[in-house]
Amino acid sequence: MERAALPRRLTWQTGTVAQLVDETARTKSIVLDVPGWPGHRAGQHIDVRLTAEDGYQAQRSYSIASAPEDGHVVLTVQHLDDGEVSPYLTRELRIGDELELRGPIGGYFVWDAELGGPLLLVGGGSGIVPLRAMLRHYLAVGSAVPLRLLYAARSLRDVIYQDELIRMREDDGLDIRFTLTRRRPPGWSGYARRIDVPLLAEVAFLSDRRSLTYICGPTGFVETAAGSLVELGHDPSRIRTERFGPTGA
Amino acid sequence: MSVSRGFHGRRRTDIDPARVPPGQYVTGDFPVLSAGPTPHTPLSEWTFDIRGAVGAPVSWSWDELLALPSETPTVDIHCVTKWSKLDTTWRGVSVDALLDGVETAGAYVLAFCDGGYTTNLPLEDITGGKAWIAFEYRGEPLAPEHGGPARLLVPHLYFWKSAKWVRGLELRDHDEPGFWEAYGYHMYGDPWKEQRYRGD
């Protein structure tokens, strides 16, 4: 186990919406000014609390999309049709609104430069969000450890942070690869299949390089990606996962 | 507490609010959360051990565990990530049955698991019919992603205390943080007091 965060009481704070960014048709980034924000590590999350006029409250957890070096706390929220909180955050929230939050939370699914590498990031769908914080941190501190990112999305339209990721690949030379599992644009040169052992064998570092791996996505995706890497000889203790979404069970 | 402009919420009328701890919402799904890959220990190598501050350590093989009298609790479970699930049905061996005859002066346990996960609990929270080593969920063998072959089931505490892939209990004189507790989660984790994080 890596170093634990220092125990600190987490109190509710108020953030103000400074900017809203449409990332895809279903996801929106919420840029927050949080006075007195204690800082966070890439990969951590926060709790958001909404309160109705009659005092009814709802809480949810969201990954932080911004790097510790960024001036704002950014959340990227996917709209869920049957959701209670995400429709409010993606459709109702306006610039200047206040949002109650507390954090940062979690200390295991985090990467900071001193953890080293090689660093393998594997994201499915909105599982890219905490990995994007890691990418931004990686660039902000000028880390030189080898890095690869594999990002699986249904189609190019579902790729969150598309422009930024392509810029990181073109301008910063990061090894960022996409796989589109349902629809591909004409002339698509990236991967075009679901994640499995052969795809990870192609993308992952060889197991003897003892890469540090972070996998985030829906349960089935994470099970497959983590299980495939173990099958390829990767040390399970070097694979950290974050899962979300329902299962059939 | 400040009102969120334009938020009305979606109150469920089909659920008794008295069954839902503060800050939780009820889901029909069974979300999966774990820190690393799902371990797959062959049942032929699987044991359940009670060790630490005990008169003599005890160990059961998989077949020996299944041969013990089992119970079928129906319980509500509450995850610190805010979801609760009502009326979940399990089969497992009561921790009372496993601790029967074990001599200990320890007041705490650290549950340990395949994959290296641990969690700490007061001994009195897993005795007296409050905890099980569960190996069936809804009449089926417990799926690996939900902690199969067996997980600890301590429904009155947040569900991270119900350690997946559990392999034993270590009795202790002192309360030492387990995996998530060392990362700032609450040492005890009572959902009704909303003890999510250290200091709650």
ipTM of this predicted structure: 0.93
pLDDT at B1 over 80: no
Strands B140-141 and B132-137: antiparallel
Residue B87 lies in a domain: yes
Residue B176 lies in a domain: yes
pLDDT at A193 over 50: yes
* CA torsion angle A95 B9 B31 B62 (round to 10): 140
Q: Which of B7, B88, B194, B197 to substitute to test the interface with A, most A CBs within 10 Å? A: B7
Cβ separation B183–A50 shorter than 8 A: no
Topology of the domain covering A13-105? Elongation Factor Tu (Ef-tu); domain 3 (2.40.30)
Residue B61 lies in a domain: yes
- How many folded domains does chain B comprise? 1
Residue B129 lies in a domain: yes
What are the tens digits of pLDDT across the range B27-65? 988 888 889 999 999 999 999 999 999 999 999 999 999
Cis peptide before A118 (omega within 30 of 0): yes
Top-confidence residue, A219 or A33: A33
What local confidence, expressed as pLDDT, does residue A3 receive? Answer: 46
Topology of the domain covering A113-244? Rossmann fold (3.40.50)
What are the tens digits of pLDDT across the range A130-180? 999 999 999 999 999 999 999 999 999 999 999 999 999 999 999 999 999
Residue B133 lies in a domain: yes
What are the tens digits of pLDDT across the range A46-57? 999 999 999 999
What local confidence, expressed as pLDDT, does residue B75 receive? Answer: 98
- pTM for the model: 0.94
* pLDDT interval class at B13 (50, 70, 90): confident
Helix orientation angle between A128-140 and A162-170, rounded to the nearest 10 degrees: 40
Residue B20 lies in a domain: no
* Among A51, A223, A239, beta carbon nearest to B3: A51
What local confidence, expressed as pLDDT, does residue A6 receive? Answer: 52
A163 CB-near residues (< 8 Å, 6+ apart): none
pLDDT at A2 over 80: no
Residue B157 lies in a domain: yes
The sheet carrying B108-113 orders its strands as B58-61, B47-52, B166-172, B108-113, B118-122
Give the rounded percent of residues in chain A with a pLDDT score beyond 70. 95
What's the rounded mean pLDDT across residues A34-54? 96
What is the extent of the structural domain holding B86? 45-193
- Give B-chain residues touching A52 at CB under 8 angstroms: 3-4, 7-9
What are the tens digits of pLDDT across the range A180-191? 999 999 999 999
User: Among A66-75, A80-89, B90-99, where is mean pLDDT lowest?
Assistant: A80-89
Residue B4 lies in a domain: no
- Kindly tell me the sign of the dihedral angle through the C-alpha atoms of A129, A130, A133, A134: negative
